[in-house]
Amino acid sequence: MASTPTFVLFPLLLVLPFLASLGLVGADTASTETMCMSTPYPSVCRSNLPSNETGDIYHYGRFFMSKSFSRARLFLALVDKYLARQDSLAISVVRALEDCRFLASLNLDFLLSSFQPINATSSILSILKAEDVQTLLSAILTNQMTCLDGLQSTASAWSGKNDLSVPLANDTKLNSVSLALVVRGWVPQNKKGNGGAGAGQPKSRQLPFQNGRMSFTMSSRTRGIYESVTRRTLLQLSNDNSVLVSDIVVVSQDGTGNFTTINAAVASAPNNTNGTDGYFLIYVTAGIYEEYVSIAKNKVYLMMIGDGINQTVITGNRSVADGWTTFNSATFAVVAPNFVAVNITFQNTAGPAKSQAVAVRSGADLSVFYSCSFEAYQDTLYTHSMRQFYRECDVYGTVDFIFGNAAVVFQNCNLYPRLPLSGQSNMITAQGRTDVNQNTGTSIHNCTLRAADDLASSNTSVQTYLGRPWKQYSRTVYMQSFMDSLINPAGWQIWSGDFALSTLYYAEYNNTGPGSNTTNRVTWPGYHVINATDAANFTVSSFLLGDAWLPQTGVPYTGGLI
């Protein structure tokens, strides 16, 4: 997603209140009290506005976006100040600070990108633009909470924790106010698509895959590059319904490709390419790659294809028990938009005794994983933020093994609870929505929930639940999925006491199998058995607006309910 250069937006952000005073805002005004009461934190809203302030929703929204940007810059400078003295800090503190710096830098980008359409109009945005803005502002809050969680985990190792966590907590509330005002002023009330309910046949995309392989359109030069480095029949070339590829490189451990490591191949990808140029394709041949791969924000439109599950394996063993944060324990991490992975196994082999140990962390907007496997124990797959789609994937884990705060749909996937430590229960999901205005949640559609081999063959009694509320507005929906008998009849588990039980949104629709009976499910205020109309809101076409971006990936999907 392109962003306006900093030198253009900086002055604009600083003079917004002045522009408003000249009357460059809408006609419908409201008092500070009235406007602030529509936000989650009225007192924070009031305290950040000049006394006797009046204006319309667009004035208030831009004012708080400007305020959020200024505070984000100050927080990043504060993190840098502490990192400059990292020689005196414990390694766990340094790693938490490094996470915060990385996330704070992303937030500056996100604020700039989201401000551009907000500043361009004092009216409702188009559905797609509104979705982009709400996604970015939702991710900003997620990034701040991730940093805050990391800082809080260092309490015993660092007396200066509150010097950062206190202003960060205040900034998070400020951004929550910004999000609320933007949603009220710029986001269409009914911004989602039909999703299939009452809309005839559900949309489906299947054509680019033939016999399990992808068809590509390539220039003659690119085809020549491919043919010169390998004779494998990875590509079934076609002129119709194909995926556009700009370049191909091959990773092979035996030296017959362009690179012997995945990281070297990623480094060779061009920066900030345009989607009209096609994907930069990295073909990773069969092998076990002991690498920690991080795909930076500028490596956009990158596609990575392996030789298949259990053939191309990317593996690591970082864990919280060994001093890493959950965020940076990931074997494979990606934040670059429009990323696609196909036919790859991602592992974290730290084991169940090492607590949180992530196989994949994704904060990549409009990203796709197709026919991939994710294998670990606690916290296997970190669907951290932005918009994501998983199709025909296998996910193995124990405690909270699909967690995070993305807007994500799992479709036609297999979810395999494993054998945990003695005394532990399995929680398939731990969704992390912290704000009622975030457009995030986990949708599990037409998937299969079945015990992994180690759990199925054990003689121990392990309780397995559909999920538990990691954060206040946790949102998870299971639709048209098969649930085997391992699912506890209550379905869902608490996090702590009555935390979030009235503010979460957990729902089930038309699931099958012995574990799908809702008769003895929890009776929390936030739990629902829903109908087709409500379920349609969590389909690919509605929840992700997937019809606008999934076709170019070539990955098959069903847009609505089946």
The residues assigned a catalytic role are 400
Q: 225-237: b or e for each residue (b if 16 or more CB lie within 10 Å)?
A: bbeebbeeebbee
Q: Return the closest-CA partner of residue 458 out of 420, 490, 493.
A: 420
Q: Is 116 helix (H, G, I), strand (E, B) or coil?
A: helix
Q: How big is the chain, counted in residues?
A: 562
DSSP 492: B
Alpha helix (H) residue ranges in 364-418: none
Instruction: Kindly give, in sequence order, each residue whose CB lies less than 8 Å from that of residue 359, ignoring residues fewer than 6 positions away.
Output: 330, 331, 332, 346, 347, 348, 374, 375, 376, 380, 381
Cα–Cα distance, 93 to 99 (Å, whole number): 10
| Tally of CA atoms within 13 A in the half-sphere of 293 that contains its CB | 27
| Residue 189: both structure tokens together | 């009330």
| DSSP bridge partners of 85 | none
Alpha-carbon 490 to chain mean position: 28
List own/partner pairs for 73-79 with CB under 8 A and 24 or more apart: 73/108, 74/167, 75/104, 75/164, 75/167, 75/168, 75/171, 76/101, 76/104, 76/105, 76/108, 78/163, 78/164, 78/167, 79/104, 79/164
> What is d(CA 556, CA 244) in angstroms, rounded to the nearest whole number?
16
Measured at the alpha carbon of residue 21, what is the angle toward residues 18 and 25, in degrees to the nearest 5?
A: 105
